[in-house]
Each structure stands twice: as structure tokens, then as C-alpha cells.
Amino acid sequence: MQLQTLFLVVTGLTILSNLVSLVTKERIQGAVYVVFLRLFLTGEYNKLMKLRSEQLAINKERNAISAQDNYAKWTKLNRKYDALAEEIKKQEHALSSQKSLIDNYVSRALQLLTTLPINALKLWYARKSLFYTRPGTFPWIIDAVIINLPFLPRGSVGIYVWCFCVNRVFWILVDFVKVLTEPRPLPPSKEKVN
Amino acid sequence: MSDFEVEPSLKDIVTHESLKWIFVGGKGGVGKTTTSSSIAIQLALHNPTKNYLLISTDPAHNLSDAFDQKFGKDARVVDGISNLSCMEIDPSSSLEEFIANNGSGTDQNDPLNGMMSEVTGSIPGIDEAFSFMEVLKHIKNQKNEDSSVIKYDTIVFDTAPTGHTLRFLQLPSTLETLLGKFNEISGRLGPLLNMMGGDQKTEMFNKLAEIKTQVTEVNKQFQDPELTTFICVCISEFLSLYETERLVQDLTKYHMDVNSIVVNQLLFADDDQCKRCQSRWKMQRKYLDQMDELYEDYHLVKMPLLGNEIRGVHNLKLFSRFLIEPYDPKAHKDVVFSLEER
């Protein structure tokens, strides 16, 4: 791989993986699941919703009548309610097993997209210099101990150090945006309480 | 089911050929013991060639009081009815006996010492299971021996108030999960456990597995409607009906046959002078109507409330005939006050 493309790819992947952790994996999984529900499991999902609303309706009806005066009716509603509860449980179970399957796939896909290629590239190009700094930018001791890790030619920046820098800059920017967009605390009220 | 009328009596059960187990259960204080005694008596009277055994698994035994005759751990024939025997089993004592027999070694330093008893003692339903297994052992032993010992064709159980019997039916699955967990633990901590006394551990597993197979076998018999039936007893009041409904639902969930409900302590006070009895009867009738609607394909047996405690064979005989021949307040009015005083 050419050095320029390598540089761009590594930078892009690092930013992507940071974006994923910013959004959080759970949210992505949830979103994928919702899309999956809409596309393939609408029938199942609607059935669950229908069952739930039926159960609610029965509960309402049951609570509206007096158990002692309409014992037979009340008990019949109870039976229906229990039957529905059983069915809902089954349906939920079926759907949740789907969800865990999808979650599994999503997290594996994310890994394949971000962590795995970054680590592979880091391993493969560990001893390649991505670019050189202008001589004298940093004191030689910093060059030798930090910038040139792992034992690259003097003045050059390797993939490890570059990824580290990208990460730091990314999170500093995130914090910066967060601070800017945070709602301002209200000024203390001037009215006297007592 | 609804296109033929179900008889409001237990005639089906009394004339049934293949029934081996009859359970009588319900809330406390509704007359389970009286009902089970009556059923046993009617069975014995209707089939003089067969032998019957009535067993109480309720820790608060009252068969002795119902028959006015002392019964114990071993079956004893009822005075006056030669083909009916009774016994009272204490579930907890048979569990303790089991632990004592199979319990831990004498090594005080063994950390697994007594684990068996603690584990088995804490499984829900185990005490009931043990009493049933005891009974089964009893019956199996009889089959092998010579003909001088009585063989019982049908066994009537007077069970403890609601929950217990059902917990017993749950036991196989409970044991299964428990054994699974144990296996998992021993897989992880295997070497450690082996150091602490592996022999005892495997022994314990084997015993639990043995219990499980036994219980499963019993359960299979209990879930066969040709062999086993359950009779619910209740009184015509809201909570009792509610409990009965739950019992019926749970039994159906465990695939146990239930098709008879005995409604006890009815006043039948239509032509009575007593005002309180009349209004009370009105209330009972309200619930009875609801029951008729709910349990239309069940045998709904309506039993009268008599003037005194029903104790002794004579009184039980008087009372029990209404299980077969429905009580008619006009024709049978005299029975209410005709009980022998004890």
C-alpha cells in the first residue's frame, strides 16, 4: 500500500471506530434491530403489539366489574388474561432471541469494520514511517522516546503514534463540542426567598 | 362437551373401573377430609370385591377424628367396612428418615458433610414427593409378597391444603434444573470439589438423579386420566371459588385430570324458617349459579351442611350417599338433624 493511502485509511478507520464508540454499540444494535423489525418481522411485531393491547383491554374490563357480583364473567376474563400472558411471553421470547442474534451479528460486523483492520494495519506497518517532522520541531529526547516509537528513523512518525494522536484530537474535539452545546446553567435568581 | 348434560354426582368415579389414584384437595376448612372419607366409603360400599386405601398426607391429620378410630403410619382396616383401610403419613418425618438413612458420613472435618440433607431439604415439594414415594414403595412391596396381604385397587389421597400437591408435580423439572446447575458447578470447580470429598459428591448426584427418575415415574401415572383423577372441594364463597379456579387451572397446566368439584356446606334453606339461613342461602346460590356457568362440563356435586360434625362411620355413610344421589332438600330434610351425637 502506498504511504498516502495508508495514511488516509488509518486516519479514516480510527475516526470511524471513535465515532462508533461515541454513538455506542448498543444504539447501533438497537437501530439495526428496529430496521430489521420494520423490514422482515412486521408480522411478528404487530402480533405482539396486538396481544399486548388485547391484554390491556381485558385488564381494563376486568377491573371495571366486581369480582364477587360477576364471578363467572370475571373468572372467564381471568382465564383469557392468563392465556394471553402465556402467548405474549412466547412471542417476546421468539423476538428477543432474534434480537440477540442480530446484536451478535452487528457487533461482529463492527469489529470487522474497525478494530480488526486497524490492528492488522498497525501490526503490518509497525516499522514504516508515515511521514517526517521538520527537524528541530521537538527536542531530540521527545523524538527518541515518544515520536519515533517503535525505533523508527529519527524524526519520523509511525502508525502507532499517529493513531494515538488522532484519538486524542478526536476526543478533545468531542469534549469541545459538548461544552459548547451544553445548555447554560441558569443564573442565580435575584429575588429574595425570605 | 356441552351437548350432553354432566351428572351432578360422583357416580362416574365410583363406577370407574381403572382409576388407581383419587386426589381430594382444596382450601383449608372446606371439608376435604369429610369428602375424601365419604368418597372412600362410597367406593368401598359400591364395589365390595375391591379394596380401598384412604391416605392423609396433610400434616394436620384428622382421618382418625373423622372415623373416630385411631390410624397410624401403617394401613389399618376401618371398623365396619372391611374393604377400606386408612393411613396417615407425616411427610416431614419420612423426609427426615431418608436423610438419616442416606445422610452424611461421620467425618466432622468434611466440608460437604450434611450438604446432602441441606440440599434435599430445601427443594420445594420434596416432602410431599417423599410421602408419595413412601406410599408407592409400600404398594410395590405388597405386590411381591404372598396373597395374605391386602392389595389395594384404588387409593384415595386426602391432600394438604392446595399448594403442596401442585409443588410435588413440579418437582421433576425443579430437580432437573438443580442437577444441571450442580453439574455446571462441578465442571468448573471439579478439582477443588474432588479434593474436598469427591466420593460424596458423586454419591449425592446419583441419589438426586435416582429421586428424579422415581418422581418422574410417579408423575407419569398421575398425569394419566385413566389412572388418576382430582376432586376439588370448595364452599360457595368467593375466595374458596377463586382458589378452586386457580387449582383447576394449575392442575390442567400439569396435565392432571380434573372433572369433579364438590361444593360443600350448602344450606338449601328455601323452605326454612330461619331468616339468616335464607339470606345466607341466597348468597350461596348466587355463587352456585356462577359456578354452573363456569364449570358446565364438570361434575358439580352439591352437598348439604348438616346439623353437626360428621364423624364416625355411620354419619359418614349418611352424608356420603349424597355424593352419588344428589341431595334433595324436600326428600332428605330429615338427614340434617339425624346425625349420631359423638
- pLDDT confidence of B220, banded at 50, 70, 90? confident
Dist. CA B324–CA B319, nearest whole Å: 10
Helices A3-23 and A25-40, interaxial angle, to 10°? 80
What residue of B is the nearest CA neighbor of A68? B238
Domain count of chain A?
1
Q: Is residue B3 part of a domain?
A: no
The domain spanning residue A55 has which CATH number? 1.10.287.660
Give me the CATH number covering residue B188: 3.40.50.300
Does residue B191 carry a pLDDT above 60? yes
Q: List the single residue in A72, A76, A82 with the smallest CB-CB distance to B249.
A: A82
Tell me if B140 is assigned to some domain. Answer: yes
The model's pLDDT over A89-135, given as tens digits with 9 standing for 90+, comes to 998 888 888 888 889 999 999 999 888 999 998 888 888 888 888 87
- Mean pLDDT, residues B307-319 taken together: 89
Q: How far apart are CA B35 and CA B222, in angstroms?
A: 20
Is B129's pLDDT higher than 70? no
Provide the number of CB pairs (under 8 Å) joining chain A to chain B: 24
Say if A182 falls within a structural domain.
no
pLDDT at position A142: 80
The confidence score (pLDDT) of residue B197 equals 62
List the one residue out of B298, B206, B293 whose CA is nearest residue B260.
B298
Give residues with Cβ within 8 angstroms of B87, minimum separation 6. Answer: B53, B54, B55, B56, B71, B72, B73, B74, B75, B76
Model ipTM value:
0.72
Q: Which residue has the higher pLDDT, B286 or B98?
A: B286
What is the number of domains present in chain B? 1
Domain region containing A52: 23-114
The proportion of chain B whose per-residue pLDDT surpasses 70, expressed as a percent, equals: 75
Cβ neighbourhood burial of B182 (10 Å; 0-12, 13-18, 19+):
middle
- Of A26-40, A53-67, A83-97, B193-207, the poorest mean pLDDT is in B193-207
Residue A110 lies in a domain: yes
* Res. B4: pLDDT tops 70: no
Q: Report whether B299 contacts B10 (CB < 8 A).
A: yes
Q: What is the mean pLDDT of residues B13-42?
A: 88
**pLDDT beyond 80 at B142:** no
Residue B117 in domain: yes
Residues of chain A contacting B291 with CB distance shorter than 8 Å: 71-72
Section B251-268 average pLDDT: 89
Task: Tell me: pLDDT of A64 over 80.
Answer: yes
pLDDT > 80? residue A1: no
pLDDT at B314 over 60: yes
Residues of A in contact with B245 (CB under 8 A): 75, 78
Q: Which of A67, A68, A72 sits opposite B293 (nearest CB)?
A: A72
Instruction: Return the H-helix or E-strand segment holding B24.
Output: strand B21-26
Most confident of A155-159, B156-160, B161-165, B236-240: B236-240
Interface test with B, best of A70, A75, A78 (most B CBs within 10 A): A75
Q: Which of the four pLDDT bands, split at 50, 70 and 90, describes residue B170?
A: confident
Neighbours of B248 (CB within 10 A): 21
Structural domain harbouring B288: 11-337
What confidence tier does B162 reach under pLDDT thresholds 50, 70, 90? low
Q: Which residues does chain A have within 8 Å of residue B249's beta carbon, measured at their own beta carbons?
A: 79, 82
- Domain assignment present for A69: yes
Say yes or no to pLDDT of B1 above 50. no
